[in-house]
Chain A
C-alpha cells in the first residue's frame, strides 16, 4: 500500500508516494539519495542511521517513512550551514573522532542531541549518551574528545 507523504529534509520539502513498509532510513537513502545516513544493523542497535526528526535524535531504521509525514528531518548532510562546519564536525576532525567514517554521521547526530540537552556533559555522561551508537574503529576514546571539543566550542560561540 502506498502512502502519500510530505517530509522536510534539511530544509527542502519532498512530497511523494512511499510503500507503507518503507523505513525512514531507506527513504532517505534510496528515494532522496541522501546516503550519508548509514545502515549498520537490522535490530535498531548500532545507531549508524541516527538522524534528527523534529529536533530529536532518532534511529531512522526504527521509523517508517510514512510516520515522518509532516516532520522536519535533519541528516548529516544538513549539519553544516553556509559551507561552515558544525562544531561537532569540527570536533570529530580535530580530535580524530573517526577512522572509517561509517558510524560518524550517526555519532554526530546523537552527539548534537546530547549537547542540546546538556551543554557541558561529563565524560561519563558522554559515554552513556553513546550507548546506542557502535563504533568498531576508534575505541570511542577520541569520539569522547570530539564531543568535548564541540561542547567547548559551542560554549564559547554561544
Chain B
C-alpha cells in the first residue's frame, strides 16, 4: 500500500527557505561571539622565514592571533580517511596537513595565521598588518610534470611527488595481447580538467567551548557531522568524542566539497578554548576558490580496441591524478576505487587494465566532487566510444547496443561480475538508450544534420553510463583502504500519541530528505505524512551517522530507517497481540492498525504507542517504550545507469557552441519522490554540462589560481541551458528494502561526454576530423579546432 511513495509530494522543508528562515551556519549568532579571518599564503611554494604579528595584535578589536608555532606539536593536522598503497606494497605517502603552516606553504591559500577579533572587519584589517617573510620556491602544478625528474618537491620526503601508484583489472600483457587482435584501435589523450565545486553557501564554522560542561560545540557547513566529530576528536585534537557536539545546520549545497574535514573546523574548536569565547569563521568566495577541495583533474591516455564486428576487445587506461598539496579526506579513493572500478561501463569488454599515478602538486587539494571518479571513468569510456564510431564510420548508438551487457535483474540472473572488481546489482541497458533515441527523434535528426547548410554545424553526442552508488558495504570498502565503515544509522522515536520522530545519520543539504524519508516512513507505518518528522545533522540528537555523499542517503540511510520502522512494528505487534488477546502471528498490519486476520478485530498504531508508554495492560516481560535503532550496512553498491544525448550547434564563424537540446533517460531504481529525483537530475546535468562548456580551474606555472573568482571562473547561468528533456526506466535494486539506487550524481556523471561528443560529431560532419576539443569548450578552442 503506497499512499506517498512514488508521488511528487511538495517538500516540507521549503517553507523555511522561501520565507528566509533557513538557518545556515553563518546565520547563527552566539552571545560574546568573535570572528576569525585566516591569513593565507599568496605563494604556491615558499619557505616561511618569519611571521611578525606584533602590529596586528595591537589593532582595534583583536582578541588573539595564532600562527602555526602556537599550535601544540601534538596536533599534527587533519588526516586522510582512505589509504591506497603503492603497487609494490609500499605504504601510501601521507604527509601531515597542518592546521596552519609552520615552515613551508604548499599551495596558494595555505593558512598562515588565524586572526580573531570582535568583528570580521577588524580581523581582516588586522591580518593586513601581519608581516610574513617568505623565500619563494619553484612550484609544480601539473601532475604529469610533477612526476618528472627534478620537479620541485611538494614534500621533501615524498620522492617524485608520488602519493601512490595503483593498477586494477587484467594484467597489462593480457590487455595488450587482446589489443593486438583488434581490427581497429581508438586512442585518445585528454584532460579531465579541475573543477571548483562552488556550493553557493561558502563554508563556515563556529567553535564554542563551554567551560561549565567542559564541552565543545562545532556548527559547520558539513555533509557529515558525525564523521567530522570522529576525525577531529580522535585524529586531530585528541579531545574526547562525547565532549563534542557537531551540528551541520541548514547547508547551502555541498556536491562533495563539504564532506571533508577541513582545518578551519579544528582551528575554531581549538582556539575557542584558548580564548574562552565562541569563534565564527566564514569563507569569502575567493577563499572558497582557493581552499574548498576541488574535483577531477586527471590527465589520461586511453586506448580501446574493437574487432571487425565492432565488439570491444580491450581497454587500457593510464591516468595521472592530481591530489594537490595534501591528501584530503577521501582523495585517494577518487581516481582509484571510484574511477578504475567503473571502466567496465555498460559493456562486455573482456580485458581491462587501468593504471593510476596519484601526484602531489603545489595546488589546492582535490577530492570528491559530484560523481567523484565516476564522471572521469564515464568520460574516458564514452569519449572513446563516440570517437571510435566516427573513426570506424559506424553509428554510435548501434556500436553501444552491440556491446551492452545483456539484462540481468540480480535475482533470477546473477549480478554481472566485471573485470575491475565489482559485481553489478541489476541492469537493463538497451531500454534507456532506445528511449533516449526515441525522445530525440534520431533518424529525423540525422537527416536534419545532413541537410544543414546555414553556416552552422549540428552535432549529436551520446553517453551511456553506469555509476556505483549507495556507498558502501563496509567490509568491501575496508578491504579497499577505507578507514571507516560506510553503513548508516537511524532511530525511530515513537511518541505516546503515535507521532513519530525519525533521526537519520544522512544529512540533507538540498536533497529533500525531510520529505522523501517522511514518505517512506508514513507509508510503511500507515500513518499521515504530517505525523512524521525527520531530524538530521546534530550529533547530540542523532545517535550516529556517516552522512551524505555518493548517492547514498536513500539507499543506505533510507534502508536503515526502514529497518528501524520494521523493528517498531515488530514490537508494536506484540503489544497489539496482547491488547487483542491474539497471537502476534495472527495479526496483519495495514493502514496504521493491526487486525486479527480474517476478523474485524483491530487496534490502531496510536493505541499501541500509548500503551507502550502507559504500560498498565501490557505483555509480561516486554520493555515499555517504542523507540528503535537500526544500523544498515549495504550488501553491495547500487548501480544506476542511463543514456544521455546532447544536440549542439556550432557557429562556424565564431566557434560558439549552443546546446540546443539535452535528453537524459536515467534508471535510478525505484523512485520515492519523482519531483525530487527530477530535480537531482537537473542539477547534476547543469554541473556536468558546465564542465564540458564553461568551467575549469586554471593554475599558472607559478601556482596562482588565475580564475579564482566569479569574474573569471565561468559559472553556468540560466541562459546557458535549454530546458532539459528527461525520462526514466525502473530497474529495482535487488539488495535493499526500497529497491532504490540513488540519484544525486547521475546527471553529473552522464552528461559531460555527451556534450563533448556532440561537438566533435558536429566538427567531423563539417569536415574537421579532430579527436578532441579540450574542456571547457570555449569558442576559442572550438574555433581553433576548425583551423587545424
Can you list 18 A-B pairs with a CB-CB distance of less than 8 A? A36-B19, A37-B20, A39-B26, A40-B200, A42-B709, A43-B285, A43-B711, A45-B711, A46-B285, A99-B512, A99-B683, A100-B509, A105-B20, A130-B717, A130-B719, A134-B710, A136-B198, A142-B679
In the complex, what's the smallest C-beta–C-beta distance from B17 to chain A, in angstroms? 3
Contact B676 A101 (CB under 8 A): no
Give the distance in Å from the alpha carbon of A135 to the alpha carbon of B719 in the complex: 12
Type the 1/0 row for A1-40, where 1 means its CB is closer than 8 Å to any CB of B.
Answer: 0000000000000000001010000000100011111111
Contact B252 A127 (CB under 8 A): no
In the complex, what's the smallest C-beta–C-beta distance from B709 to chain A, in angstroms? 5
Contacts of B16 in A (CB 8 A): 101
In the complex, what's the smallest C-beta–C-beta distance from A59 to chain B, in angstroms? 12
The 8 Å CB contact of A102, one of B252, B255, B711, is B252
Give the distance in Å from the alpha carbon of A42 to the alpha carbon of B709 in the complex: 8
Given A40-B201, A100-B200, A102-B22, 20 further pairs, Cβ under 8 A = A38-B200, A43-B709, A43-B711, A75-B20, A76-B18, A80-B19, A92-B18, A96-B11, A100-B199, A101-B22, A102-B252, A102-B253, A103-B200, A127-B717, A134-B717, A138-B686, A139-B724, A141-B721, A141-B723, A141-B724
Contacts of B687 in A (CB 8 A): 136, 139
Type the 1/0 row for B349-389, where 1 means its CB is closer than 8 Å to any CB of A.
Answer: 00000000000000000000000000000000000000000
Q: Assuming the A-B contacts A33-B29, A42-B709, A136-B199, are A144 and B253 also in contact, with contact meaning beta carbons closer than 8 angstroms in the complex? A: no
In this complex, what residue of B is CB-closest to A76?
Answer: B20
Give the distance in Å from the alpha carbon of A26 to the alpha carbon of B19 in the complex: 19
Contacts of B8 in A (CB 8 A): 96
Contacts of B286 in A (CB 8 A): 42
Which of B15, B22, B199 has the most CB atoms of chain A within a 10 A radius of its CB?
Answer: B22
Contact B723 A134 (CB under 8 A): no
Contact A137 B15 (CB under 8 A): no
Contacts of A45 in B (CB 8 A): 709-711, 715
The 8 Å CB contact of A39, one of B18, B202, B721, B747, is B202
In the complex, what's the smallest C-beta–C-beta distance from B291 to chain A, in angstroms? 14
A79 at the interface (CB under 8 A from B): yes
Chain A residues bordering chain B, tally (CB within 8 A): 56
**Taking beta carbons and an 8 Å cutoff, which residues of B are in contact with A?**
8, 10-11, 13-24, 26-27, 29, 121, 198-202, 250-253, 255, 284-286, 509-512, 675-676, 678-679, 682-687, 709-711, 715, 717-719, 721, 723-724, 747
A140 at the interface (CB under 8 A from B): yes
Give the distance in Å from the alpha carbon of A147 to the alpha carbon of B509 in the complex: 23
A105-145, CB < 8 A from B: 105, 108, 123-124, 126-128, 130-131, 133-144
In this complex, what residue of B is CB-closest to A92?
Answer: B18
Contacts of B22 in A (CB 8 A): 36, 101-102
In the complex, what's the smallest C-beta–C-beta distance from A82 to chain B, in angstroms? 13
Contacts of B202 in A (CB 8 A): 39-40
Contacts of A104 in B (CB 8 A): 17-18
The 8 Å CB contact of B253, one of A77, A124, A136, is A136
In this complex, what residue of B is CB-closest to A34?
Answer: B20
In this complex, what residue of B is CB-closest to A90?
Answer: B18
Contacts of A123 in B (CB 8 A): 723
Contact B723 A40 (CB under 8 A): no
Closest 10 CB pairs of A and B: A36-B20, A101-B17, A102-B252, A139-B686, A100-B510, A99-B510, A45-B710, A76-B20, A35-B27, A139-B682
A60 at the interface (CB under 8 A from B): no
Contact B253 A100 (CB under 8 A): yes
Give the distance in Å from the alpha carbon of A130 to the alpha carbon of B291 in the complex: 28
Contacts of A126 in B (CB 8 A): 718
Contact A140 B721 (CB under 8 A): yes
In the complex, what's the smallest C-beta–C-beta distance from A153 to chain B, in angstroms? 14
Q: Assuming the A-B contacts A33-B29, A41-B285, A96-B11, are A138 and B200 also in contact, with contact meaning beta carbons closer than 8 angstroms in the complex? A: no
Contacts of A42 in B (CB 8 A): 284-286, 709
Contact B201 A102 (CB under 8 A): yes
Contacts of A37 in B (CB 8 A): 20
Give the distance in Å from the alpha carbon of A93 to the alpha carbon of B12 in the complex: 9
Contacts of A40 in B (CB 8 A): 200-202, 285
A57 at the interface (CB under 8 A from B): no
Give the distance in Å from the alpha carbon of A146 to the alpha carbon of B511 in the complex: 18
Give the distance in Å from the alpha carbon of A54 to the alpha carbon of B487 in the complex: 53
Type the 1/0 row for A72-87, where 1 means its CB is closer than 8 Å to any CB of B.
Answer: 0001110110000100
Give the distance in Å from the alpha carbon of A89 to the alpha carbon of B715 in the complex: 25
Contact A131 B200 (CB under 8 A): no
Q: Assuming the A-B contacts A42-B284, A43-B710, A99-B253, are A134 and B715 also in contact, with contact meaning beta carbons closer than 8 angstroms in the complex? A: yes
In this complex, what residue of B is CB-closest to A101?
Answer: B17
Give the distance in Å from the alpha carbon of A96 to the alpha carbon of B674 in the complex: 11
Contacts of B685 in A (CB 8 A): 139
The 8 Å CB contact of A93, one of B10, B29, B251, B510, is B10
Contact A35 B14 (CB under 8 A): no
Q: Assuming the A-B contacts A100-B510, A102-B201, A136-B199, are A141 and B18 also in contact, with contact meaning beta carbons closer than 8 angstroms in the complex? A: no
The 8 Å CB contact of B11, one of A36, A93, A133, A143, is A93
Contact A36 B21 (CB under 8 A): yes
Contacts of A138 in B (CB 8 A): 679, 682-683, 686
A48 at the interface (CB under 8 A from B): yes
Contacts of A141 in B (CB 8 A): 682, 686, 721, 723-724
Give the distance in Å from the alpha carbon of A135 to the alpha carbon of B687 in the complex: 11
Contacts of B684 in A (CB 8 A): 139
In the complex, what's the smallest C-beta–C-beta distance from B784 to chain A, in angstroms? 27
Contacts of A133 in B (CB 8 A): 718
Contacts of B284 in A (CB 8 A): 42
A98 at the interface (CB under 8 A from B): yes
Contact B19 A77 (CB under 8 A): yes
Contact B10 A94 (CB under 8 A): yes
Type the 1/0 row for A39-72, where 1 means its CB is closer than 8 Å to any CB of B.
Answer: 1111101101000000000000000000000000
Give the distance in Å from the alpha carbon of A75 to the alpha carbon of B511 in the complex: 25
In the complex, what's the smallest C-beta–C-beta distance from A136 to chain B, in angstroms? 5
Contacts of A36 in B (CB 8 A): 19-22
Give the distance in Å from the alpha carbon of A102 to the alpha carbon of B199 in the complex: 9
In the complex, what's the smallest C-beta–C-beta distance from B749 to chain A, in angstroms? 14
Q: Assuming the A-B contacts A136-B683, A142-B679, are A41 and B199 also in contact, with contact meaning beta carbons closer than 8 angstroms in the complex? A: no
Contact A136 B255 (CB under 8 A): yes
Give the distance in Å from the alpha carbon of A131 to the alpha carbon of B24 in the complex: 25
In the complex, what's the smallest C-beta–C-beta distance from B249 to chain A, in angstroms? 12
In this complex, what residue of A is CB-closest to B250?
Answer: A101
Give the distance in Å from the alpha carbon of A72 to the alpha carbon of B201 in the complex: 27
In the complex, what's the smallest C-beta–C-beta distance from A12 to chain B, in angstroms? 15
Give the distance in Å from the alpha carbon of A82 to the alpha carbon of B673 in the complex: 31
Contact B20 A130 (CB under 8 A): no
In the complex, what's the smallest C-beta–C-beta distance from B294 to chain A, in angstroms? 15
In this complex, what residue of A is CB-closest to B726?
Answer: A141
In this complex, what residue of B is CB-closest to A108?
Answer: B18
In this complex, what residue of B is CB-closest to A99?
Answer: B510
Contacts of A75 in B (CB 8 A): 20
In the complex, what's the smallest C-beta–C-beta distance from A158 to chain B, in angstroms? 21
In this complex, what residue of B is CB-closest to A36?
Answer: B20
The 8 Å CB contact of A100, one of B27, B201, B715, is B201
In this complex, what residue of B is CB-closest to A94?
Answer: B10
Give the distance in Å from the alpha carbon of A5 to the alpha carbon of B554 in the complex: 50
In this complex, what residue of A is CB-closest to B12?
Answer: A93
In the complex, what's the smallest C-beta–C-beta distance from A17 to chain B, in angstroms? 14
Give the distance in Å from the alpha carbon of A135 to the alpha carbon of B678 in the complex: 16
Which of A34, A76, A136 has the most CB atoms of chain B within a 10 A radius of its CB?
Answer: A136
Contact A102 B24 (CB under 8 A): yes
Contact B201 A38 (CB under 8 A): yes
Contact B718 A127 (CB under 8 A): yes
Give the distance in Å from the alpha carbon of A35 to the alpha carbon of B16 in the complex: 12
In this complex, what residue of B is CB-closest to A133?
Answer: B718
Q: Assuming the A-B contacts A105-B20, A124-B719, are A98 and B29 also in contact, with contact meaning beta carbons closer than 8 angstroms in the complex? A: no
Give the distance in Å from the alpha carbon of A39 to the alpha carbon of B27 in the complex: 10
The 8 Å CB contact of B510, one of A21, A77, A101, is A101
